[in-house]
């Protein structure tokens, strides 16, 4: 099979030929059709997430067809279309797994980080961490739901019943979650890089009540804010934008350092919290909701051998919606 391989951080991925992997008793072999490109992939390639398996096939928003199953696999037969997310395995016995917090498992393994991922023609995955893809979603449009959607949904849930929500960074996750927010009759205020008028117009087209630069205050106080951009200086900015009792959720796996800020912008029962990974329950809930909205993803397509170009476009903010590799 062909695969894009990361051999060391800060180096371009290399197109190589590798043997097709064989599934163990609890795995399925998947012929990959599409793999969305995530900012987490950038953090791995750029050395900001420091302990990847090397060499590594990145990618953790995988859509494909089951081609073979291990002897202990249940529910997934050959021919079934499945999705593979970031969370690839947990121990099922640590205190986090036993308290329904498997996203925090001490021994978790992650697709495209500890486990080879989807920048390839085939992959293997533990069937217990795969999801059935809802009917009606083309492969390319389904792939961004598996991280931008799933982890974005977990962050969105942390805002509770907020009516006015700020989205800092309007990329893959934000363009998916704004559709859910509008479906639930909430208002979204979109914040983009300074001067990104194209991104702001994209947010308005998707129903944003207001869109502006990330260093601006919104026209009215927010009930909650989600920071999708990996930019620590946005934390005090978002705290200043939320009303008393508001919550600021940091949705990324990596963020630059947060500068010091005065206690007064946290006071009055504002809450600052992070979101880590996802649970299988998050996936099941979101993939049930997505067709009801229905959520539609805007995708920018790249071939497998163009993975480096896709990462560069994401790094420079040139992607409107999601980048997807079609295999």
Tell me the two tokens of residue 8: 């060391």
- Crossing angle for the helix pair 150-157 and 280-289, nearest 10 degrees? 90
Mean pLDDT of 67-80: 96
pLDDT digits (tens, 9 = 90+) for 3-52: 999 999 999 999 999 999 999 999 999 999 999 999 999 999 999 999 99
pLDDT of residue 274: 97
Dihedral angle over CA of 53, 57, 60, 63, nearest 10: -150
Tell me the two tokens of residue 128: 């217990």
pLDDT of residue 136 exceeding 90, the answer is no
DSSP structure class, residue 144: G
Predicted model pTM: 0.94
Q: Is the distance from CB of 247 to CB of 224 less than 8 angstroms? A: yes
Instruction: Give the CA distances from residue 165 to residues 2, 153, 254, 286, in Å, rounded to whole numbers and listed in that order.
Output: 42, 13, 22, 19
Q: Identify the band that residue 72 occupies on the pLDDT scale cut at 50, 70 and 90.
A: very high
- Helix ranges, the chain (H): 39-45, 139-142, 150-157, 172-183, 197-205, 234-241, 280-289, 307-315
């Amino acid at each position: 099979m062909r695969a894009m391989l990361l051999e060391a951080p800060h180096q371009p991925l290399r197109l190589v030929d590798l043997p097709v992997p064989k599934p163990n008793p609890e795995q399925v072999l998947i012929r990959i059709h599409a793999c969305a490109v995530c900012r987490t992939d950038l953090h791995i390639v750029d050395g900001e997430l420091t302990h990847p398996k090397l060499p590594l096939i990145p990618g953790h928003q995988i859509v494909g067809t089951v081609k073979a199953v291990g002897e202990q696999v249940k529910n997934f037969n050959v021919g079934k279309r499945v999705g593979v997310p970031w969370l690839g395995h947990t121990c099922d016995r640590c205190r986090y797994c036993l308290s329904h917090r498997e996203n925090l498992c001490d021994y978790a393994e992650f697709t495209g980080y500890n486990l080879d991922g989807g920048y390839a023609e085939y992959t293997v995955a533990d069937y217990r961490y795969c999801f059935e893809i809802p009917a009606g979603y083309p492969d390319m449009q389904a792939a961004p739901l598996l991280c931008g959607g799933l982890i974005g949904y977990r962050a969105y849930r942390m805002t509770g019943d907020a009516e006015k929500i700020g989205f800092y960074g309007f990329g893959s996750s934000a363009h998916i979650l704004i559709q859910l927010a509008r479906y639930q009759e909430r208002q979204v205020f979109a914040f983009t890089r300074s001067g990104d008028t194209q991104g702001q117009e994209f947010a308005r087209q998707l129903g944003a009540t207001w869109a502006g630069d990330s260093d601006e205050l919104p026209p009215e106080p927010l009930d909650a804010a989600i920071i999708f951009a990996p930019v620590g200086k946005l934390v005090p900015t978002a705290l200043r934008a939320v009303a008393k009792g508001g919550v600021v959720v940091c949705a990324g796996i990596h963020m630059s350092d947060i500068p010091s800020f005065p206690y007064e912008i946290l006071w009055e029962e504002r809450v600052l919290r992070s979101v880590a990974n996802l649970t299988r329950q998050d996936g099941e809930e979101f993939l049930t909701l997505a067709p009801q909205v229905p959520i539609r993803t805007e995708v920018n397509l790249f071939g497998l051998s163009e993975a480096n170009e896709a990462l560069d476009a994401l790094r420079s903010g040139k992607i409107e919606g999601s980048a997807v590799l079609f295999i």
